[in-house]
A and B are shown apart, each in its own frame.
Chain A
Amino acid sequence: MTDSVTLTPDARTFEAARGEADFPHSPVARFGADTPLRLDAGGVLTSFQIAYQTYGTLNAARSNAILLCHALTGDQHAANVHPVTGKPGWWETMVGPGKPIDTDRFFVISSNVLGGCLGTTGPSSTNPATGQCYGLDLPVVTIRDMVRAQSMLIDHLGIDRLLAVVGGSMGGMQVLQWAASYPERVFAVMPIATGARHSAQNIAYHEVGRQAIMADPDWLGGRYLAAGTSPRRGLSVARMAAHITYMSDSSLHRKFGRRLQDRDGHTFSFDADFQVESYLRHQGEAFVDRFDANSYLYVTRAMDYFDLAADYGGVLANAFKGTKTRFCLVSFTSDWLFPTPASRAVVHALNAAGASVSFAEIETDKGHDAFLLDEPELFAITRGFLDAAARTVGVS
Chain B
Amino acid sequence: MSEAARTDTGARVDLLVIAEMVEPATRVLDVGCGDGVLLELLATTRGCDARGIELSREGVNASVSRGLAVIQGDADIDLADYPDNSFDYVILSQTIQATRRPKWVLEQMLRVGSHAVVSFPNFGFWRMRLELLMKGRMPRTENLPYSWHDTPNIHFCTIRDFVGLVDEVGAQIDQAVALNGYGQKVRFNWPWSVWNLVGEQAVFLLSRKG
**Interface positions of A (Cβ within 8 A of B):** 326, 328, 347-348, 351-352, 354, 356-363, 377, 380-381, 383-385, 387-389, 391
Q: How far is A389 from B70 in the complex, measured between Cα atoms in Å?
A: 14
Interface size, chain B (Cβ < 8 Å): 20
Tell me the nearest residue of chain B to A327, going by C-beta.
B69
What chain A residues lie within 8 Å of B82 (beta carbons)? Answer: 351-352
With a 10 A CB-CB cut-off, give which of A380, A384, A387, A391 has the most chain B CB atoms. Answer: A384
- Asked if B65 and A384 make an inter-chain contact with CB atoms under 8 angstroms apart, the answer reads yes
Cα(A387)–Cα(B69), bound, Å: 13
Q: In the complex, A360 Cα to B49 Cα: how many Å?
A: 19
Q: Would you call B61 and A360 a contact (CB within 8 A)?
A: yes
Residues from 123 to 139 in B contacting A, C-beta threshold 8 Å? none
CB distance from A190 to the nearest CB of B (A): 10
30 A–B contacts from the bound complex (CB under 8 Å): A347-B71, A347-B73, A351-B81, A351-B82, A351-B86, A352-B82, A352-B83, A358-B64, A358-B68, A358-B71, A359-B60, A359-B70, A359-B71, A359-B72, A360-B57, A360-B70, A360-B72, A361-B57, A362-B61, A381-B64, A381-B65, A383-B65, A384-B64, A385-B65, A385-B67, A387-B67, A388-B66, A388-B67, A389-B67, A391-B67
Chain B positions within 8 Å of A384 at CB level: 64-67
Inter-chain contact total with CB atoms closer than 8 Å: 65
B111 at the interface (CB under 8 A from A): no
Q: A357-B51, A357-B71, A358-B63 are in contact. List 19 more A-B contacts (CB 8 A).
A: A347-B73, A348-B81, A351-B71, A351-B82, A351-B83, A354-B83, A354-B86, A356-B51, A357-B69, A358-B60, A358-B64, A360-B64, A360-B72, A361-B57, A362-B61, A384-B67, A388-B66, A388-B68, A389-B67
**Cα distance A10–B70 in the bound complex, in angstroms:** 49
The reply to whether A380 and B61 form a contact with Cβ atoms under 8 Å apart is yes
Closest to A349 in B: B81
Which residues of the partner chain A approach B69 to less than 8 Å between Cβ atoms?
Answer: 326, 356-358
Complex Cα gap A354–B70 (Å): 13
Known: A384-B64, A384-B67. A352 touches B81 (CB 8 A): yes
In angstroms, how far is the closest chain B Cβ from the Cβ of A396?
A: 16
Q: State the majority secondary structure of interface residues on A.
A: helix
CA distance A65 to B64 in the complex (A): 21
For the complex, what is the distance from the CA of A384 to the CA of B69, rounded to whole Å?
A: 11
Given contacts A348-B81, A351-B82, A352-B83, contact A381 B61 (CB under 8 A): yes
Closest A-B pairs by Cβ, 6 of them: A388-B67, A384-B65, A359-B71, A380-B65, A348-B81, A358-B64
How far is A328 from B69 in the complex, measured between Cα atoms in Å? 8
B71 to A: closest C-beta gap in Å = 4
Residues of A within 8 A of B68 (CB): 358, 388
Q: How far is the CA of A389 from the CA of B60 in the complex (A)?
A: 17
CB-CB under 8 A from B70, the residues of chain A are: 358-360
Q: Which residues of B contact A383 (CB under 8 A)?
A: 65
Tell me the minimal C-beta distance from A323 to chain B in angstroms: 13
Q: With A348-B81, A361-B57 in contact, do A385 and B71 touch (Cβ < 8 Å)?
A: no
Taking a contact as CB atoms under 8 Å apart, the answer to whether A385 and B51 are in contact is no
Q: Once bound together, how far apart are the Cα atoms of A385 and B68, in whole Å? A: 8
Given the known A-B contacts A356-B69, A357-B71, A362-B57, are A385 and B81 also in contact in the complex, defined by CB atoms under 8 Å?
Answer: no
